[in-house]
């Protein structure tokens, strides 16, 4: 409840936020929502001067070391920014780095963790979410699989869930909670592993559900994880600042630690790729709300519609054409490819899921 209230207040204070809609998505009354906002009214800004010539070096160093102790993976630029933002202390990042070195707090491991990655950035929040698992982490009862979702534009961490597996049955409820709270993205990108990728490259059960919600799905090119680079970079930060050296007693303890760290990452930790803004300063919830029920599947009047049979078979022009098993029982639309005789693109709702070349498949008697 504490993390829920903190996230609600942070999102509600963003420009152009719809408090009533946020209350609905968070499952609280408007009265409760405004009560939370009133309780968390920001205090009057500090009137201390930006520079404090009379402050001793030892006091400044204590501040620097304190921030570094609370966030061991933060470097000079982040700490200098936070001290200016929160304590009105102006320090050059190089000065902070010198203090950290004097106190033995700069290590080669920390320097590697702070190496910047450059990535293309989508223009608006919720244009693209990146999703993946952060490998697995051993804990007392087995292996923990952290599920992560990052908004490409803002680097806002939408999902950080401690799961005990990597199945569709575990991922789908986590995404449903995210959609109910943050709304729907336009596209979700993943790698090619399960549960989002199949061995044959076709759409999966999870992908079918996402497409029916009106979300486009895409996958990274094989052996090119950098296509999902912002989530990969987020994993490095997660490992450096939370997971490395941790030994969680159970999933509940892991989730509690992740919730606390996620709040700092989204609302307190300055992000160098964002010009030292925090992710929540660039994020906005999606205007596309999670629907109460899946919309009907409809195609155009000129589409050739066929129902997918068992084993992903589509019967068309005396041929048995194979597509994804996950589409069994659903209608798909076949659309001829311009200037390619006998070649048809296969669409499920708005998503192109396959291509059939009748020139390469023999006709049958059935």
How confident is the model over 66-81, as pLDDT tens digits? 888 787 777 878 888 8
What percentage of residues in the chain have a pLDDT greater than 90?
Answer: 47
Residues 149 and 271 in one domain: yes
Q: Which two tokens stand for residue 204?
A: 């999966």
Residue 217 lies in a domain: yes
- Whether 25 and 61 share a structural domain: no
3-class SS at 206? Answer: helix
pLDDT at 108: 46
The answer to whether residue 297 is domain-embedded is: no
C-alpha closest to that of 188 among 241, 151, 145, 237: 151
| Bigger pLDDT: 130 vs 16 | 130
Q: Residue 56 has what pLDDT?
A: 46
From 124, 123, 126, 146, select the one nearest 135 (Cα to Cα): 146
- In terms of domains, do 171 and 273 share one? yes
The number of distinct structural domains making up the chain is 4
148, β-bridge pairs = 132, 160
The predicted-structure confidence for 121-133, as pLDDT tens digits, reads as follows 678 999 999 999 9
> Same domain for 277 and 346?
no
Statement to judge: residues 74 and 16 lie in one domain: no
Q: What is the mean pLDDT of residues 17-42?
A: 86
* β-strands 187-190, 157-163 pairing: unpaired
Look at residue 291 and tell me if it is in a domain: no
Residue 83 lies in a domain: yes
Assess whether pLDDT exceeds 80 at residue 267. Answer: yes
Pairing of strands 142-151, 157-163: antiparallel
Residue 118 is assigned to a structural domain of this protein = no
Q: For residue 122, is it within any domain?
A: no
**46-54 long-range Cβ contacts below 8 angstroms, 24+ apart:** 46/87, 46/88, 48/87, 48/88, 49/88, 50/84, 50/88, 50/90, 51/90, 52/88, 52/89
Query: In the predicted model, what is the mean pLDDT of residues 247-266?
Result: 92
* Averaged pLDDT, 326-355: 93
- Statement: residue 300 has pLDDT above 70: yes
Whether residues 151 and 7 fall in one domain:
no
Q: Are residues 19 and 65 in the same domain?
A: no
pTM (whole model) above 0.85 = no
192/233 same-domain check: yes
Is residue 332 a part of any domain in this protein? yes
Position 44 in a domain: no
Give the neighbor-by-neighbor strand order of the sheet with 331-336.
Answer: 304-307, 331-336, 343-348, 351-357
Domain that holds residue 203: 129-282
CATH number at residue 161: 3.30.420.10
Contact 250, 139 (CB under 8 A): yes
The reply to whether 84 and 167 lie within a common domain is no
């Amino acid at each position: 409840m504490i993390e829920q209230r903190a996230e609600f207040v942070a999102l509600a204070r963003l420009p152009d936020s719809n408090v009533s809609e946020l209350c609905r998505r968070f499952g609280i009354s408007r009265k409760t929502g405004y009560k939370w906002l009133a309780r968390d009214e920001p205090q009057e800004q500090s009137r201390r001067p930006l520079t404090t010539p009379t402050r001793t070096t030892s006091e400044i160093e204590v501040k620097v070391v304190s921030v570094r102790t609370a966030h061991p993976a933060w470097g000079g630029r982040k700490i200098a920014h936070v001290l200016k933002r929160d304590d009105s202390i102006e320090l050059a990042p190089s000065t902070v780095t010198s203090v950290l070195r004097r106190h033995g707090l700069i290590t080669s491991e920390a320097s590697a963790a702070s190496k910047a990655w450059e990535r293309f950035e989508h223009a608006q929040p919720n244009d693209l979410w990146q999703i993946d698992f952060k490998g697995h982490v051993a804990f007392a009862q087995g292996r923990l699989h952290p599920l992560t979702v990052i908004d490409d534009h803002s680097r806002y961490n939408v999902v950080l869930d401690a799961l005990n597996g990597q199945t569709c049955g575990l991922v789908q409820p986590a995404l449903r909670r995210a959609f109910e709270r943050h709304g729907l993205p336009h596209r979700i990108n993943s790698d090619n592993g399960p549960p989002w990728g199949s061995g044959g490259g076709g759409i999966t059960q999870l992908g079918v559900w996402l497409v029916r919600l009106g979300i486009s799905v895409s996958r990274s090119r094989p052996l090119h994880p950098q296509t999902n680079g912002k989530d990969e970079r987020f994993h490095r930060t997660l490992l450096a600042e939370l997971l490395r050296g941790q030994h969680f007693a159970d999933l509940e303890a892991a989730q509690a630690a992740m919730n606390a760290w996620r709040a700092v990452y989204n609302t307190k930790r300055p992000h160098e790729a964002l010009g030292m803004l925090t992710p929540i300063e660039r994020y906005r919830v999606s205007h596309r709300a999670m629907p109460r029920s899946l919309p009907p599947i409809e195609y155009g009047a000129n589409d050739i519609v066929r129902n997918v049979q068992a084993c992903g078979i589509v019967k068309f022009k005396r041929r048995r054409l194979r597509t994804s098993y996950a589409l069994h029982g659903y209608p798909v639309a076949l659309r001829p490819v311009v200037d390619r005789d006998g070649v048809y693109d296969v669409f499920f709702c708005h998503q192109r899921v396959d291509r059939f070349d009748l020139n390469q498949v023999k006709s049958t008697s059935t």
